[in-house]
Amino acid sequence: MYLNINTDLTVDQKAYINSTKQFADEHIINNSIEWDKKQIFPKEVLKKSAGLGLAGIYVPEKDGGTGLTRLDASLIFEELAYACPSTSAFLSIHNMTAWMLSQFGSDELKNKYMKKITSMESISSYCLTEPGSGSDANAMITKGLPDSNNSSLNINGSKSFISGAGESDLYFVMMKTEINNRDESSCVIIEKSSEGISFGKNEEKMGWKNQPTRVVAFDQCIAPFENIVGKPGDGFKIAMQGLDGGRINIASCSLGAARFCIDKSIAYINERKQFGKFLKEFQNIQFKIADMITDYNAARLMVHEAAKALDNKQSDTTLRSAMAKKFATDVCYNICNEALQIHGGYGYLSEYGIEKMVRDCRVHQILEGTNEIMKVIISRNIIGN
């Protein structure tokens, strides 16, 4: 590790990072390329991570979580992403669902699912995006209609690009509900074993190959009314608050990939000779490394500031999260791509791990709201519309 990134951290934060690094070194980093090639979903490793408290990182201890801050979580996801961005990103999705249930769920619903989620006995996926709506959460058409006595919901519709679909045990589904004659959105937990739920083919993707991505379809799928997270109509609020944290998490995953690529590049230029000189002696290479390190540090500062804003419940959390997500995912992708260029043909080979980082990081500029949507959010927060 060439970058000294832990100088401003607390003793506890350094301990979280060290234990996470130890776990990633033992279980993830040496397996990540094989998982990617063979499209292996590392279920058992994910379940083992729960033993470190990584399945409920910012869930309060009273609900069975680790009780850490969003800043702590950012540090953890970065360290996991250093080993494998795709694995870290999926774990961040699971953590998002755990937080949703902890933050908004009734005591009855928590008693039903919380322990299973924080122990990863039940792996969870988050279902917001639909084939025709993309980043427009208000445009979703998946609908859950209550029966006459509000004991169950009859759900029809579909969700697309769902990470973990077909493998996860629980699905936190955003949908339209018409309860008390109101048109509203709600978040509903649906079990994999529910009648009327089905899954499409595993999508062939550029990156994130070690986690399945499928359509989740609902055809007269019945879910208990009490599986609504929070109150009926809270869905949009839950989704938007979840996205603030999700954007910080995915930006943190980009940081881990970028730091991996910087470390690999520094090691490479110290050992590789060209035209009788080490690569590190060429000014062009020195400038590339300088830009990579500067951009990484700037992105890390933005992500950490956004995480602190979320921890402190600041009014500008959405703005800071959008800026951090846009900037970090853009520059970190560029860092990974530059590292590939520095490695030349070797960077293009899978065994070096660089090309996987490029592929895995590319989608970070799209999910949790595209970076074009981030620009809309940023401009509207500053200048209005």
Known active-site residue 368 = yes
Residue found by looking up tokens 């895995």 in the block: 360
Is residue 260 within 8 Å of residue 353, measured between CB atoms? yes
44, 271, 368, 372: the active-site residue: 368
Which positions are catalytic? 368
